[in-house]
Amino acid sequence: MNSSPSARQPYDGVVVCAPVTVPYRRYSTNSAHWWVGRALHELVRQAGVRPQDIDGLIVSSFTLGPDRAIGLTQHLGLSPRWLDDVPLGGASGIVALRRAARAVQARDADLVACVAADTNHVDSFRKTLSSFSRFAQDAVYPYGAGGANASFALITKNYMNRYGATREDFARMCIAQRDNALSNPHALMKKKLTLDEYLSARPIADPIHLFDCVMPCAGAEAFLVCREETATSLGLAAVRLVAAIERHNAYPDDPVQIRGGWAVDAGELWAMAGVAPDDVNFVETYDDYPVISMMQFEDLGFCAKGEGPDFVRSHTLTNAGSFPHNTSGGQLSAGQAGAAGGYLGLTDAIRQLTGKPLGAPVPDARVGVVSGFGMINYDRGLASAAAVLARAA
Amino acid sequence: MTRPLARPRRKNPLKRTRAPLRPPAVRSRTAHGLTAAAAEGHFALQVCTDCRTVIYPPRDACPACLSPRVPFTNIDNGGTLVAETSVHTSTEVYFRERTPWRVGVVALDRGPSVVAHLHGDVAEGARVRVELKLDKAGAPVMMALPEQDTPDMADDPQLREVTCDPKFRRVLITDGRTAVGQALAKAFSEAQASIVFVGVADPWKPFPGMNSLRAIERVEIVPLDLTDTESVTEQAQQNGARVDIVVNTAEHVRAGGIVDRHGLTVAREEIDARYFGLLRLAQAFGPALRARGADGVNSATAFVNLLSVHALMNWPEYGSYSAAEAACLSAAQCLRAELRPGGVKVLNVFFGPLETEWFQTVPPPKVAPAALARAVVDALKRGLEDVFVGDIAQDVRQRLAVNPKALERELAG
């Protein structure tokens, strides 16, 4: 083996288009299959194709059980020649995009539908938590059963201890995202968030308080991946994929998570994209908790490790601000529809870069970074991924 | 600093008794290596045989070298509390009624980070010792304790959830005529049990040690004969709802095996006093114990069986006795499953030959009744499930783990 890994092939000619959001609901009596069906129905309508034209399908869902992607082909009457499941939670969107991109480049498929959907029944959250992973069952859930809130409370507390972040810093992020959400008609959170409301919210698992947490809900997100000429022939506004990375179980020896796999591969991401962090017009992070967004700023190279708090203090994070972040409100304000939360940044980014945002536009958006994070198997998120997208020339 | 427990007030009989709830109990098969360690009070994690990496959470391959040889091994339990949180919102009803509940990440000196329940006297950044405990579901959990003992530390509410401390609890010792029963009465009184009921069959008949037994603080002699169903039922009706710890001290020790005995008279007595006695006791007191597992400071917490270690492997010199003890051990395993829904532990205390009349001809080492009593109280304070008292019991335990067949042959003499 060489000591350094091979350089990646570029994603030349690959585009993303037809972003679909099925409006979220706090609870749904419908199944995950229903939400997937709605998303694909809207996807073919928007793309102006027939369902049988979809020759690639890739699916992410926590609540589809006992079915998986293969069962959906029969359920929905599709006959793809390329099929995949991505059970990576918040990293699902970018990982699906990476896999689909290679499929269309290699012509294993021409039109890949990427879809993530989850339902949210009353009590389905507890059931998901209690059986989320073997390590969670053996070594986390029996300790207070606080779920992700408790695990991220420990990560947040450790980060605050180590780098001096304060609740006010996280407030800046949450409040800016809420401002972005106010113009997004689909966002579940409709009211402006004030600093005082943020700080005085009830504690969930110290230092995590109510507005540091996403609201679990039902919903679906989808998009199409194809070659540039396919999008052109369909008359679809499309966005180029210029670079993407994924990394799993990075830095296992850190006693508590202070960084994710982005830090391993960010250099390659920027090199492949041919742009620098300063060239980016907006960033969509995976915001299950604000501390994780702060880590993504650092690990993706927008600032150095430990400078996240200062970075947040010195920028305005709204769409009109100096560092537009989570442009439709992110999961913190739009809601977390299970695995669809891992797609939210991508559908947003496609809309911003094609000039059709759900809410307030980022002025002159040409390049956006989307990042994903998922699967807290024991004490930390294992999957991290990021992509650079650019407006088609 | 731990706030010392307040002596519980007399219970208002009109108030609803809080139903016992359990924390999440499901564990992987491999994680039951932790259960085994916790049951005996060891701190054991998997250590890779090939590269010595210490592994947590439990795995089926070494994450450093992929070796499948990852046995549980007793290791040092020191560490540092890196970060803590108080859980205010929990998806499980057990924790919902106990919030805020403190948990934290401990970086163990030996490597891995563990998520642990926190004792009230540990602070972020401080050195801690991590112990494996069995929680109310009987499942193994990590508990971070202060590195050095602190005043009243046993009274910490989160720690008391995983122990069976006799302090302010009411204890029933089933037979006060035995030396072990009398030693236990003294030990529980010293451990601040609020009442020590001591059963005596035919209490009007005097017995050795009677006066000193009566003189022990908070001891109350009650009529109880485990060979008499009616007597057991009556005692349960009288005091069953205010007994938090039951200790079965019934003894029936006779030398002899099977072939050289004539008839079943002695065996019947053994079975009646020990096996049926245990069943009578469990049937009479079990339902109330199980229903009162979350009944405040003096909730029901433990059912203690004193068992000859030869329940685990027959000692032909006392072969029929060993068989009766084995029956009791099997019943105790059933009882454990049946009392677990109430969060009540079944503690099995295995001992070798005792320093008493019935083991007169057996050479030392033997277990003094006071030592056995101390071990019982200590095991309850630590929340253990299986303890081995004295050199013989420890020896049998170790030899069983290595080669049961060798033990069988060697006990045959």
**Residues forming beta bridges with residue A50, ordered by sequence position:** none
pLDDT at A128 over 80: no
Q: Where in chain B is the domain with CATH 3.40.50.720?
A: 170-411
For the entire predicted model, the pTM comes to: 0.95
3 state DSSP class of A110 = coil
* Cβ–Cβ below 8 Å for A138 and B84: no
pLDDT, averaged across chain A = 96
From A139, A142, A157, residue closest to B85, measured CB to CB: A157
The number of folded domains in chain A is 2
- Residue B82 is predicted with a pLDDT of 97
Residue of B413 and A185 predicted with greater confidence: A185
Asked whether A57 and A113 are in contact (CB, 8 A), the reply is yes
- Residue A290 is predicted with a pLDDT of 98
pLDDT at B232 over 80: yes
Q: Please indicate, yes or no, whether residues A273 and A322 belong to a single structural domain of this protein.
A: yes
* Cβ–Cβ below 8 Å for B105 and A202: no
Structure tokens at B187: 């030990």
**Residues forming beta bridges with residue A239, ordered by sequence position:** A16, A391
Q: Residue A214 CA to chain centroid, in angstroms?
A: 13
Average pLDDT over residues B126-133: 98
Q: Please indicate, yes or no, whether residues A189 and A257 belong to a single structural domain of this protein.
A: yes
Q: Give B246→chain A minimum CA distance, Å.
A: 28
Q: Please indicate, yes or no, whether residues A156 and A203 belong to a single structural domain of this protein.
A: yes
* Cβ–Cβ below 8 Å for A130 and B101: no
Q: Residue B61 CA to chain centroid, in angstroms?
A: 32
pLDDT at A3 over 70: no
* Cβ–Cβ below 8 Å for A143 and B83: no
pLDDT at B187 over 60: yes
Tell whether the torsion through CA atoms of A94, A98, A100 and A105 is positive or negative: positive
Residue of B195 and A132 predicted with greater confidence: B195
Q: Please indicate, yes or no, whether residues A302 and A175 belong to a single structural domain of this protein.
A: yes
Q: Please indicate, yes or no, whether residues A338 and A229 belong to a single structural domain of this protein.
A: no
Cβ-Cβ contacts under 8 Å for B337 (sequence gap 6 or more) = none
Residue of A8 and A88 predicted with greater confidence: A88
Segments in B23-148 forming alpha helices (H): 32-40, 93-96
Q: What number does CATH give the domain B32-160?
A: 2.40.50.140
Domain assignment of residue A6, yes or no: no
Average pLDDT over residues A193-214: 97
Q: Where in chain B is the domain with CATH 2.40.50.140?
A: 32-160
- Residue A297 is predicted with a pLDDT of 98
* Cβ–Cβ below 8 Å for B58 and A206: no
Domain assignment of residue A8, yes or no: no
- Going by their DSSP bridges, the two strands A14-25 and A218-227 should be labelled as antiparallel
pLDDT at A124 over 80: no
pLDDT, averaged across chain B = 97
Q: Please indicate, yes or no, whether residues A248 and A275 belong to a single structural domain of this protein.
A: yes
- Residue A100 is predicted with a pLDDT of 98
Closest CA to A256 of A371, A381, A98, A361: A381
Q: What is the Cα–Cα distance from B193 to B190, expressed in whole angstroms?
A: 7
3 state DSSP class of B28 = coil
pLDDT at A342 over 90: yes
Contacts of B100 in chain A (CB under 8 A): 203, 206
Q: What is the Cα–Cα distance from A345 to B96, expressed in whole angstroms?
A: 34
Q: Give B247→chain A minimum CA distance, Å.
A: 30
Cβ-Cβ contacts under 8 Å for B265 (sequence gap 6 or more) = none
Q: Is A148 on the interface with B (CB under 8 A)?
A: no
pLDDT at B265 over 70: yes
Q: Please indicate, yes or no, whether residues A274 and A376 belong to a single structural domain of this protein.
A: yes
On the question of a cis peptide bond just before residue B100, with omega within 30 degrees of 0, the verdict is: yes
Q: Is A274 on the interface with B (CB under 8 A)?
A: no
Q: Please indicate, yes or no, whether residues A294 and A350 belong to a single structural domain of this protein.
A: yes
Please identify among residues 194-233 of chain A the ones whose CB lies closer than 8 Å to any CB of chain B: 202-208
**CATH (one of 3.90.228.20, 1.20.1440.60, 3.30.300.180, 3.40.50.720) for B170-411:** 3.40.50.720
CATH code: domain of residue A20: 3.40.47.10
Asked whether B244 and B175 are in contact (CB, 8 A), the reply is no
Domain assignment of residue A134, yes or no: no
From A131, A142, A208, residue closest to B139, measured CB to CB: A142
- Residue A331 is predicted with a pLDDT of 97
Q: Give B89→chain A minimum CA distance, Å.
A: 5
- pLDDT 10s digits, B59-109: 999 999 999 999 999 999 999 999 999 999 999 999 999 999 999 999 999
Q: What is the Cα–Cα distance from B278 to B271, expressed in whole angstroms?
A: 10
Cβ-Cβ contacts under 8 Å for B267 (sequence gap 6 or more) = B261, B320, B323, B324
Average pLDDT over residues B34-52: 98
Q: Give the single-character DSSP code of B274.
A: I
pLDDT at B357 over 60: yes
Structural domain harbouring A41: 14-123+218-238
Q: Is B342 on the interface with A (CB under 8 A)?
A: no
Q: Please indicate, yes or no, whether residues A177 and A234 belong to a single structural domain of this protein.
A: no
Q: Please indicate, yes or no, whether residues A92 and A234 belong to a single structural domain of this protein.
A: yes
- Residue A273 is predicted with a pLDDT of 97
pLDDT at B338 over 80: yes
On the question of a cis peptide bond just before residue A87, with omega within 30 degrees of 0, the verdict is: no
Q: Please indicate, yes or no, whether residues A297 and A198 belong to a single structural domain of this protein.
A: yes
- Going by their DSSP bridges, the two strands A218-227 and A56-60 should be labelled as unpaired
Q: Give A203→chain B minimum CA distance, Å.
A: 6
In angstroms and rounded to an integer, the radius of gyration of the C-alpha atoms of chain B is: 22
Task: Give the count of Cβ contacts less than 8 A between chain A and B.
Answer: 121
Segments in chain A forming alpha helices (H): 32-47, 69-76, 92-105, 124-130, 134-139, 147-163, 167-181, 195-200, 228-234, 262-273, 290-299, 308-313, 330-334, 344-353
Q: Give B70→chain A minimum CA distance, Å.
A: 16
Closest CA to B54 of B95, B125, B109, B118: B109
pLDDT at B222 over 60: yes
Q: Is A27 on the interface with B (CB under 8 A)?
A: no
- Residue A6 is predicted with a pLDDT of 85
Contacts of B117 in chain A (CB under 8 A): 143-144
Asked whether A246 and A98 are in contact (CB, 8 A), the reply is yes
DSSP string over A191-256: S---HHHHHHSPEEETTEEGGGS--B-EEEEEEEEEEHHHHHHHT--EEEEEEEEEEES--TTSSS
Average pLDDT over residues B246-253: 96
Q: Count Cβ atoms within 10 A of the Cβ of residue A133 and give its class: 0-12 exposed, 13-18 middle, 19 or more buried.
A: middle
3 state DSSP class of B43 = coil
Domain assignment of residue A54, yes or no: yes
- Residue A184 is predicted with a pLDDT of 96
User: Which range among A150-159, A339-348, B7-16, B18-27 shows the weakest confidence by mean pLDDT?
Assistant: B7-16
Structure tokens at B200: 């005596």
Q: Give the single-character DSSP code of B103.
A: E
Q: Please indicate, yes or no, whether residues A185 and A97 belong to a single structural domain of this protein.
A: no
Q: Is A142 on the interface with B (CB under 8 A)?
A: yes
- Residue A1 is predicted with a pLDDT of 53
Contacts of A142 in chain B (CB under 8 A): 23-25, 135, 137, 139, 141
Please measure the distance between the N-terminal and C-terminal CA atoms of chain A and give it in whole angstroms.
Answer: 39
Residues A171, A177, A179, A180: what is their CA dihedral angle, to the nearest 10 degrees? 170
